[in-house]
Amino acid sequence: MSDMLSPVLMVVGTSSHAGKSTLVAGLCRIFSRAGYRVAPFKAQNMSNNAAVTDDGREVGRAQAVQAMAAGIPVTVDMNPILLKPQSDRTSQVVVLGQARDRRDARQYYDRVAELWPVVTGALDRLRAGFDLVIAEGAGSPAEINLEPYDIVNMRVARYANAPALLVGDIERGGVFASLYGTVALLSPEDRALIRGFVVNKFRGDPSLLDPGYAMLEERTGIPTLGTLPYLDLSSVPNEDGLDWNEKHPNTPSETVIDVAIMRLPRIANVDEFQPLIAEPGVSVRWIDSGDELGEPDLIIVPGTKSTMADLDWLRHRGLDRGLRVRRAIGTPILGICGGFQMLGAELVDEKGVEGSGQVSGLGLLPVVTTFEPEKLTRRVTGRIAGDCALWDTSDDVGSLDGYEIHMGRTTAIPGAALSAAPFTIDGGAEGCTSDDGRVVGTYLHGLLENASLRRAMLARLAARKGKQLADMPMPLTADQALESLADALASHLDLDSIGRMVGLPVGLAR
C-alpha cells in the first residue's frame, strides 16, 4: 500500500445490532462538519434493504445513509459486496453494484478469496480520494468459526492498519463480558488494533458504569471512549428493518389513519416506511395473518427479495382472502415492487430467476410479471400521472424522487380495464391502477419519503373518513435526524481521542 493513502477508522461490534451502522453514520457527519472529506465503507453487507447509486448500481442502504451523513453521493466502492438473502440458505451476490449469481453459504465461503481483491481495490480507491474512511464491520469479529473467510472485519483493519472501536449493546445485558470476550478471542495482532470501547443504548446514570470501565481497562489495556444513551433513531433510515414489536407513539385515541403493512419473510427496503411511521395521527401495523388485518384505511404489500415464495407464504397465512374482502369493501391497496407483482394476475419464471414455473397472482390488478435474469436498478424522477384513491393530479406535490430495484417486467393484459398509470418517468407510464382507482401498483421505492406526496395521500385517506390530520409539524427529515445524531454522539464520545487515532483532530472535546 502507498503511504499516500488516507487513514481508516474501523468500527466493529460485539454482535449484530450493537450500533455499528449508527456510530459510523454519526462519525461521518462529525468529521464532515469538522471540514474533512470522509467516506463510509463496508466490505461485505448482508441486507435486503438496498439503495441505488447515481450510476444505477445497488449498495446496502446503511452505506447510502452514511454517505448522506458525510455529505457525498454513495458509490459502489463504499459497499463492494452485498449479499441479498433469498431464502434461509441462499443469497444473491452483488459485486460492485451488479448482481452476479446466487450462492448458498458454503459456496460463498469456498469462493470468498476471489472477492478479497475487490474489497481492497474499493477501499484503496476511497482512501485515495478522501481524507478519512470510516469502515464498518459485520456481526462480530469474534466469530472464530468464520475467521478464515473474513473479508469485512479485522482483516480489513489489518490491511489498512486501522485503529478500531469496539461497540457493545448494553441493552442486551452482559456488555462487559461481551466486550472482554470479543477482545480475548481475537489474535494478538487484531487485539492490538482495538483502541477503544463504546457502550451503546444505556438508560440511566452513566457514572454507575465507571467501576466496570476501570476493571475492563485494567484487564485489556483498552479505554472506554463513550457511553451512548438510548437514542430515538426513528427518523434515521434503518438498514436492518424496523422493530416489528415496537409500540407506535400514537395512542388509539390519537390515531386518525390505520395502515396495515404485510410482514413478508423476505421483505425488502423496509426503511422506506419510516417517514410514514413517524407521521402524527398515523398508526402502522405489521401483520402476518389474515386474522390481524382488521379494518385498515390502507393496506400496503411491500417489496420482497423472493416474490413467488412470499406470495405462497401470504396465501398460507390467509392474507390473500383478507385482501379480497377488503378489496370488495373498497379499502385502498398499494403494492410496491414485489408487492405490485403479487397483485397481478400471473407471475412467470421460465428462466429460473426465483425458481421456476408459473403461478397465479392475487388477481387484483390485470397485469402479468415475467422474471428476467437482468436486474433493473436505477434512480428516477417522476410525476403523478393519473388519479386514484391515494392521490391525484390536483395534488401539488411536484416532482418525485425514487428508485427501482427489480428483476421482473410487468405488463398489462391486453384489453384490461385500467385507470391511467399512477406515475410518469422520463415521459413514460409507470405502474398500474385498477379501473376504480382503489388498487395501485408501482415499482418505485422511496415514494413515501417524498413528504408532499405522503402528506397528500394521508390527507386524502383522512378525508374518506370525514376527518382531518392535525396541523402538526413535519417529522424530521433523514438529514435533520443525522444532524441530531451527530450532536448526541459529540456530547458522549471522547472525540479528541478518536481524532488522534487517525491524526485528524475534530476540534470538539467530550
Which residue numbers are catalytic? 337, 445
- Residue ranges of the alpha helices (H) in 71-194? 105-110, 116-129, 154-160, 175-185, 188-191
Q: What are phi and psi of 373, to 5 degrees?
A: -65, -30
HSE on the CB side for 281, CA within 13 Å? 17
Segment (H or E) for 103 = strand 98-104
Query: What residues have CB less than 8 Å from 389, skipping those under 6 apart?
Result: 332, 437, 438, 440, 460, 464
Type of residue at 285 = R
Pairing of strands 346-349, 357-360: antiparallel
Rounded (5°) CA angle 497-502-503: 85
Helix axes 478-492, 61-70, angle to 10 degrees: 70
308 grid coordinates: 413467488
Type of residue at 491 = S
Q: What are phi and psi of 211, to 5 degrees?
A: -60, -35
HSE on the CB side for 13, CA within 13 Å? 21
Helix axes 478-492, 20-33, angle to 10 degrees: 90
- Residue ranges of the alpha helices (H) in 147-197? 154-160, 175-185, 188-191
The sign of the dihedral angle between the CA atoms of 314, 318, 321, 326 is negative
195 grid coordinates: 483502541
Closest listed residue to residue 202, CA positions, set 399, 402, 493: 493
Type of residue at 361 = G
Q: Which residue has the cell 462529525?
A: 30
What 169-172 contacts at long range (C-beta under 8 Å, 24+ apart), as own/partner pairs, is: 169/13, 169/14, 169/15, 169/17, 169/18, 169/19, 169/200, 169/201, 170/199, 170/200, 170/201, 170/202, 171/200, 171/201, 171/202, 171/203, 171/230, 172/15
String of DSSP letters for 193-260: TEEEEEEEEE-S-GGGGHHHHHHHHHHHS--EEEEEEP---TTS--TT---TTPPPSS-TTT-SEEEE
Segment (H or E) for 130 = none
Reduced to 3 states (helix: H, G, I; strand: E, B; else coil), residue 128 is helix
